Amino acid sequence: MLSWISIHLGGLWGPLRLLNSFFFLAAIGFAASALTTWIVLPKLWDRLPRDRGRAFAVNAEMSVGKPLSAGLIFVSIFCLASLLFVPIDARCLWTLPFMVAAMIVGYFDDRRGGFSEYQLAVMDFAIALGVAAVIYGTLPATIWLPGWKGAITLPPWIAIPLATGVIWVSINATNCSDGVDGVSGSLTATAIMILGGLLFTVIGNDTVARHFDIPVNREGASWAIMAFIMVGCVAGYLWYNAAPSQVLMGDAGSRPLGLLIGMLVVATNNPLFLLLVGSVILLNGATGLVKVALARFFGLRILSKIRFPLHDHCRKELGWSNTQVLVRFMLLHLGVSALLVILVLKIR
């Protein structure tokens, strides 16, 4: 919307031309979203449902009674801010209804005490499939992989299921990572920020992408603006979620965050970026999903002495405090993500 104002009214007042700068839009989008979330969240969280505790979770009793589903507030702010700051002709805006759908599914899951695993799996699949179809459409998709010279062109009937799987895993891994004050928000915000930076400076930049021999995403800057808007929203939320937390994001926040990470990974045209920027998120959350799936469907008992999500194992078995979990997970997340991204870009 603001870029439209710049195009049509920039000639009447010079400073309005700033609104045509993607960098400026990303910066003020981040700041406005962070400030709005910081102001609005405490005014509305008394209307949110209350946490009832989770079975088998470590220190679950410490969260009982706290406002839950803060994601309902900051994801709504994200969607409104995206409509304001992202160029109105950007196709990525068509993914916003699916962000709202993921938020609503998460909210009702928080409020009613939980859908069944299979119900959530089906709803997540439908949302992931819809987003993948919006991003790729009916045209062939071009992806790139480290160590593979040149780009790979995939027909829609392969590209869309591949993207659906990436997004579905991202939703569920992020959702399972929630449970320690500040951890899920910090890990996901960092992953989103890294992806946004890559989309803005590398994958969406024709000169840099050509240097690294990477297919260009012409809408990389628009995706980056969405990424930094969400980082701002999560920053405003983390102000109140820092230990000891005053409010919890719930599934209403973790599911849309996972959805956005999956969408940004698909937008990079490299599905392996889910492993590169989300390695600690996947290790923390998705490993438990694999463990349960292997035991339930194939009778394989692996990692039986390790609790999942992994942050519960660190607190229960290793005696880490919540602060130690946060700091150590963040250090691993930043170090591993930076190293892997640099290696992948150079391997090209």
Neighbours of 334 (CB within 10 A): 14
For the chain, what's the residue count?
Answer: 348
Q: How far apart are the first and last CA of the chain?
A: 37
Nearest to 166 by CA among 246, 239, 262: 262
Residue 320 confidence (pLDDT): 85
Q: Choose the weakest-confidence range: 5-19, 126-140, 205-219, 331-345.
A: 5-19
Q: Please list, in sequence order, all residues whose beta carbon lies within 8 angstroms of the beta carbon of residue 149, skipping any fewer than 6 positions away.
A: 213
Q: Choose the weakest-confidence range: 16-20, 216-220, 238-242.
A: 16-20
Structural domain includes residue 249: yes
Domain carrying residue 221: 25-347
Structural domain includes residue 19: no
Q: Is the pLDDT of residue 65 over 90?
A: no
Half-sphere exposure of 77 (CA within 13 A, CB side): 30
Q: Which residue has the tokens 């990572």?
A: 177
Cβ contact 131:95 at 8 Å: yes
Read off the tokens for 64. 């009982």
Residue 164 confidence (pLDDT): 97
Please report which confidence band the pLDDT of residue 269 belongs to, taking 50, 70 and 90 as the band edges. Answer: very high
Number of domains in the chain: 1
Q: Which residue has the tokens 């104002």?
A: 5
Structural domain includes residue 124: yes
Q: Average pLDDT, stretch 336-343?
A: 85
3-state SS, residue 248: coil
Return d(Cα 55, Cα 53) in angstroms, integer.
7
Q: Please list, in sequence order, all residues whose beta carbon lies within 8 angstroms of the beta carbon of residue 185, skipping any fewer than 6 positions away.
A: 234, 237, 238, 241, 249, 253, 257
Structural domain includes residue 204: yes
Q: Is the pLDDT of residue 91 over 80?
A: yes
Cβ contact 27:227 at 8 Å: no
Return d(Cα 314, Cα 280) in angstroms, integer.
13
Structural domain includes residue 12: no
Please report which confidence band the pLDDT of residue 304 belongs to, taking 50, 70 and 90 as the band edges. Answer: low
Angle, helices 156-177 vs 117-136, to 10°: value is 130
- Scored b (16 or more CB within 10 A) or e, 191-229 reads bbbbbbbbbbebbbbeeebeeeebbbbebbbbbbbbbbb
Q: Tens digit of pLDDT for each residue in 175-202? A: 888 778 888 999 999 999 999 999 999 9
Q: Average pLDDT, stretch 69-94?
A: 94
Q: Is the pLDDT of residue 340 over 90?
A: no
Query: In the beta sheet, which residues pair with residue 154?
Result: 141
pTM over 0.85, yes/no: yes
Return d(Cα 97, Cα 216) in angstroms, integer.
26
Structural domain includes residue 13: no
Nearest to 190 by CA among 131, 222, 230: 230
Q: Which of 199-213, 257-271, 326-340 has the highest mean pLDDT?
A: 257-271
Q: Average pLDDT, stretch 7-19?
A: 57
Return d(Cα 43, Cα 225) in angstroms, integer.
27
Residue 266 confidence (pLDDT): 96
Q: What are phi and psi of 205, to 5 degrees?
A: -105, 115
Alpha helices in the chain (DSSP H): 2-9, 22-44, 71-85, 96-112, 117-136, 156-177, 183-198, 206-211, 220-241, 251-267, 273-277, 279-281, 287-298, 310-316, 322-347
Nearest to 311 by CA among 64, 69, 60: 60
Structural domain includes residue 121: yes
Structural domain includes residue 32: yes
Q: Which of 56-60, 83-87, 305-309 has the highest mean pLDDT?
A: 83-87
| More confident site: 19 or 224 | 224
Residue 32 confidence (pLDDT): 97
Q: Tens digit of pLDDT for each residue in 155-180? A: 999 999 999 999 999 999 898 887 78
Residue 325 confidence (pLDDT): 87
